[in-house]
């Protein structure tokens, strides 16, 4: 009974994170990892994340910045391949804590950049090397720990786009990335039909969380949103380090 309640909570968090604060999805990842064997949990939650992606894409179907999506996508595949290889040789605890540490450093770096730059817009995210580093990091982090939300949050935060385009871009980007991940998870023997069935059962709660997240984004100011996404990224990093 407790396990079912925790999975329900994770589904709500996924829905909310997909339509509001992307970094919070790692909290759901941690819940699934506590209920299932760590490697099995990565595929189990992937199916639920895809449901959340579909909910988010429906709400923000006209709000994606496709220039950013095209800038990031080419580097994701190499990251997925590296992540798949890394999964074979590293234990789960070391992997999660390493990614958590990297994300925490990125959060601190982003805060430092914002403090130094004030309100001025930065074009750093447009540089090809930065986009490739972010895209590869997304592929690696999402394949190994479903923890790429904070990476894209930091990249999109640096781009300075408004909150609706921020969430819409994140939604479309991760729908594509998570669908591409499915063959990798099947190939590693991690994803099964039971995972799809579990995701279908949890879908109403994902939808409910998505509605709550959509309402949140509509009500809060841009500045509050910017601060919230950085706090969510920090929380994601700490959840992985725990």
- List the domain range (segments joined by +) for residue 6: 2-241
- The separation between CA 180 and the C-alpha centre of its own chain, rounded to angstroms, equals 14
The SS3 call for residue 226 is helix
Domains identified in the chain, total number: 1
C-beta separation of 24 from 218 below 8 A:
no
Q: Are 223 and 12 in contact (CB under 8 A)?
A: no
Closest alpha carbon to 134 in 115, 120, 148, 116: 148
Distance of CA 97 to the CA centre of its chain: 16
- List per-residue pLDDT tens for the chain, 242 residues long: 788 888 898 999 999 989 987 767 777 877 787 777 766 777 788 889 999 999 999 999 888 889 888 988 888 889 888 888 887 777 777 766 766 676 676 667 666 655 655 444 555 566 777 788 888 888 888 887 777 777 787 788 777 778 888 889 999 999 999 998 888 888 877 788 888 888 999 999 999 999 999 998 888 888 788 777 777 767 766 766 76
């Amino acid at each position: 009974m407790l396990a079912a309640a925790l999975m329900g909570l994770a589904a709500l968090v996924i829905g909310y994170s997909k339509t509001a604060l992307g970094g919070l999805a790692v909290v759901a990842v941690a819940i699934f990892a506590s209920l299932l064997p760590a490697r099995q949990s990565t595929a189990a939650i992937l199916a639920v994340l895809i449901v959340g992606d579909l909910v988010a894409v429906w709400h923000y179907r006209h709000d994606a910045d496709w220039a950013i999506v095209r800038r990031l996508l080419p580097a994701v595949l190499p990251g997925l391949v590296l992540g798949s290889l890394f999964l074979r040789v590293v234990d789960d605890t070391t992997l999660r804590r390493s990614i958590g540490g990297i994300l925490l450093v990125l959060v601190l770096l982003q805060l430092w950049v914002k403090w130094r730059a004030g309100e001025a817009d930065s074009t750093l995210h447009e540089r090809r090397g930065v986009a490739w580093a972010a895209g590869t990091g997304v592929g690696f982090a999402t394949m190994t720990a479903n923890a790429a939300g904070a990476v894209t949050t930091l990249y999109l935060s640096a781009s300075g786009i408004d909150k609706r385009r921020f969430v819409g871009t994140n939604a479309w980007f991760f729908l594509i990335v998570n669908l591409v991940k499915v063959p990798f998870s099947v190939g590693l023997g991690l994803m099964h039909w039971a995972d799809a069935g579990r995701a279908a059962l949890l879908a109403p709660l994902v939808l409910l969380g998505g509605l709550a997240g959509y309402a949140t984004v509509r009500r809060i100011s841009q500045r509050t949103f910017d601060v919230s996404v950085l706090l969510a990224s920090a929380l994601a990093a700490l959840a992985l380090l725990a």
